[in-house]
Every structure is written in structure tokens, then in C-alpha cells.
Amino acid sequence: MDRHRIPPDTAVDLAAFDPGETGGLKEKEAEARVASLNGRLESLQELLYAEGKHKVLVVLQAMDTGGKDGVIRHVFDGVNPQGVRVASFGRPTEEELAHDYLWRVHRHTPGAGEMVIFNRSHYEDVLVVRVHGLVPEAVWSRRYHQINEWEHLLAEEGTTILKFYLHISPEEQAERLAARRDDPTKRWKFSRGDLDERGRWSDYMAAYEAVLSRTSTPWAPWHVVPADRKWYRNLVVAATLVEALEGLQMAYPQPAEDVSGVVIPPAG
């Protein structure tokens, strides 16, 4: 899975990444691997929570219909909700706009023993904000450095950061938007605003290329995940996350006293 990771200081051209890549795998084989990884992830997340030492932040970014919700449903199936939170970031509130742009994000970062998934993130402030011209270029252009420094702070304070850009093709997005429109159980997710954003596709690709080129760092790497095939998307995210958690070399804490000989009395 290392080939999906963007090395630091790499100039990214998204046209060089195939959204339909499958790594030479078939769907059934990939789904079997994901099922196995789900079990391993469940065990590792329990260990993370029990040890109460490390913090894990997973950032998911994508174009509309890119599969952020699908990753959360399928990759994190079975994890203990006590130790996992999902934070979603939409249009900022008046209170949030009265603070710096990272204020609303920082308070959702993980504590010790926690895993937090950002469904969209602080990167909206160099994506949507840039594409729609919501602030001057002089403002959003300095945010790449600010974000790198903020993520460096989190990493130095013990947070493992994994960032995933779910890369879909415009053709696949068209099919998914049509499915939302036509399926009564999905129609609630359809918005005409999605079509407006689709009309800015090339602008968003340029914005994402800048993000991937300028903010993939040793302490917070980006991964470009081929996402036209949902089953391969899930495999890449699950395998990358399991590998990162295994690298933490976690261990269950020892009890404060020896309880090996304790006899459990009958219920009274």
C-alpha cells in the first residue's frame, strides 16, 4: 500500500493516478481481505483504548460521492464506539467564523486512547475556500504552512495522523449522483449544489493537487486512494490503518496489583 502514499515535497499530478486501479485484485478477494483487516482493526482499536497512550486521527477528503461515509461504514465496522468518534465539518457557524479557522477543528482532535475520524476537515479552508474565492489568495495560500505546523504540533504531542484523499473519476461521480437522484432511499443526500460543485471539477483538482503537494509530511502523510471501486478503496484504507496501528507497538496495561489468584465469590 506504500505506493498510494505521497512522499514529502512531491509535485502531485492527479491525472497520473488511476481512480479505477484495483491493484490486480478481484472484488471477492479484496472483500475477504477487508473482512480479515476489520477483525484486526477491531483488536487494535481495543488495545489503543485500553492502553490509553496513543492518539489516532484519520482525515477523509473527497469530491462529492467520493465515499467518505462508505469508508466509515465498512472499514470501521465493529470498532468499539467508546473509543472512536466521527467529526464532520460543514459550513462554519457564526461562532466558528469569529475564531481562527482551526479553532473549530482543534477541539475535535483525539485524546489519549481515542481514534477520531474527520469526515471533511480543516482542508476545506484550502479547498472550498480557494475554489469559491471566499478569502483572498494571500490568506488561503499561507494556510498550507499553518496546517503543516499545526499537524506537527499534534504529532509531537503523540497523535498519529493518516490522511486519505478518495480519488474518483468524473464519470464515476456522474453515476453515483444519478443513483442518488433515482433511489428514494438515497435521494435525501442529493443536492443541486452538488451539481454546481461538479461544474468546478478542474478547479477542485488544482486545489487538491496543491494540498497533496504541499501538506504531505513525514508526520502527517497523504494517501491517494483509488475510489472508483469501493471494495478496493476500503482495502487501501483498512490496510494502511492496520499497518500504522501495528507500528505503534501497543501493549495492554498491567493491573495495579496481582489479581492472578483472586477467587470470584458466589453471587450474594
Across residues 97-109, what is the average pLDDT?
96
* pLDDT reported for residue 207: 98
Question: What's the confidence (pLDDT) of residue 263?
Answer: 87
**What confidence score (pLDDT) does residue 125 get?**
97
Residue 263 lies in a domain: no
As a whole number of angstroms, the distance between CA 54 and CA 113 comes to 5
* Residue where the block lists cell 493537487: 209
Range of the domain at 21: 2-246
For residue 261, being part of any structural domain is answered with no
Answer yes or no: is 34 within a domain.
yes
**Do residues 131 and 200 touch, judged by C-beta distance below 8 A?**
yes
**Does 70 reside within a domain?**
yes
Domain count, the chain: 1
Asked whether residue 184 is assigned to any structural domain, the reply reads yes
CATH of the domain at 156: 3.40.50.300
Q: Rounded to an integer, what distance in angstroms lies between the CA atom of residue 49 and that of residue 73? A: 20
Q: Write out pLDDT tens, residues 29-39.
A: 999 999 999 99
In a domain, 265, yes or no: no
Task: Render pLDDT for 39-81 as a digit per residue (tens, 0 to 9).
Answer: 999 999 999 999 999 999 999 999 999 999 999 999 998 898 8
- How does pLDDT run across 141-190, given as a tens digit for each residue? 999 999 999 999 999 999 999 999 999 999 999 999 999 999 889 888 88
What is the rounded CA–CA span in Å between residue 57 and residue 1? 19
Is residue 259 a part of any domain in this protein? no
| Residues contacting residue 98 through CB under 8 Å, at least 6 positions apart | none
Q: Which ranges constitute the DSSP H helices of 52-169?
A: 68-75, 94-97, 103-106, 128-131, 137-140, 143-156
191 SS3 class: coil
